[in-house]
Amino acid sequence: MAIVLPLGASVAGPVGTANAAFDPSGFDFWVDSEMGPIKSRVFRAANGNTNRVVYALDGMRARDDLNGWEIETNVARALTAANINVVMPVGGQSSFYLDWNAPSTFFGTDGSSSGSAGSSAVGSSAAGNDVAGKRNTYKWETFLTQHLPRELKNRLGFRSTRNGVFGLSMGGSAALALAGYYPQQFSFAGSYSGFLNTSAPGMREALRVAMISAGGFNIDSMAPPWGPQWLRMDPFVFAPQLRDNNTRLWISSGSAVPGQGDVSSALGIVQAVPLEALALANTRAFEVRMATIGARNAHYDYPATGVHNWKNWEDQVNRMIPDLSANIG
């Protein structure tokens, strides 16, 4: 943890990306919410069905124009070719896709001005106070489980039960939380390089540093330390619900040993290796937790090489598609 803490600013700021950028096969799908209008990108299944749907969640540095899965990978095309509709919510930087307690501030400021908490972190890129989560309170859990599925059903005819959800890093723990608390909506969840033991010693402070860097967001506005709300977001804690729901899980993390094409610079190694080591430790702890409670509903995948980057997460999606396909719709 001592190695990772100084590098926390890079959590979910992966390197070695595919950089596919805008995919014209998708279309914008706007839905109103407590946060204002939220855009998702929708990619239709090749056979036109409306029963098979998966949500793809972004990492901590989620942008407000496109979802990272679209920017950096070609997973939408692989999934739609497998006759799965893909929904990519856009935005939610540092949100963990949760309903927060309050707008993010540091001592009454948004963290974006010079000398503020947001700009003081090395490598930080603080978002201004006009973005969701600062001008208002993040309500992503409500959006993903109420507003978005309702409008997908009403306007596109998409099924709102037995959906899948997967995510990387921040999105990995969020995917498990959505499946844990909304089992009718999500019958499948995937986590790649996720932080699945967020109540472990040092994790809150590691995430605090990461969230300051990834937009200048204050973790204390999300959830108080060690209270019920904080524990509710920890997959290690709510693992029994995933077992009892019999949710099909795909859980993966790289070995933190760089493989061919994983990183292109020394800085990339310095950032991506310890981050994946932390994700691996979290993921292994979650696996042990599931085993001790008798859960048999998860597939674990640990490639021999792989660090914290989009190349490895795209590989995992491609490996996961048959399992996802068999457990949704």
Give dist(CA 211, CA 233) in Å, integer.
16
Burial degree of 47 (CB within 10 A; 0-12, 13-18, 19+): exposed
Catalytic residue status for 308? yes
Give dist(CA 216, CA 120) in Å, integer.
9
Q: Which of 70, 276, 287, 314 is catalytic?
A: 276
The CB density around residue 3, as the number of other CB atoms within 10 Å, is 12
Q: Which of 40, 169, 187, 191 is catalytic?
A: 169
The three-point CA angle 163-177-206 to 5° equals 135
Catalytic residue status for 314? no
For residue 239, the SS3 value is helix
The CB density around residue 266, as the number of other CB atoms within 10 Å, is 8
Catalytic residue status for 147? no
Closest C-alpha among 163, 161, 165, 160 to residue 149: 160
Q: Which of 33, 124, 253, 308 is catalytic?
A: 308
Which residues belong to the active site? 169, 276, 308
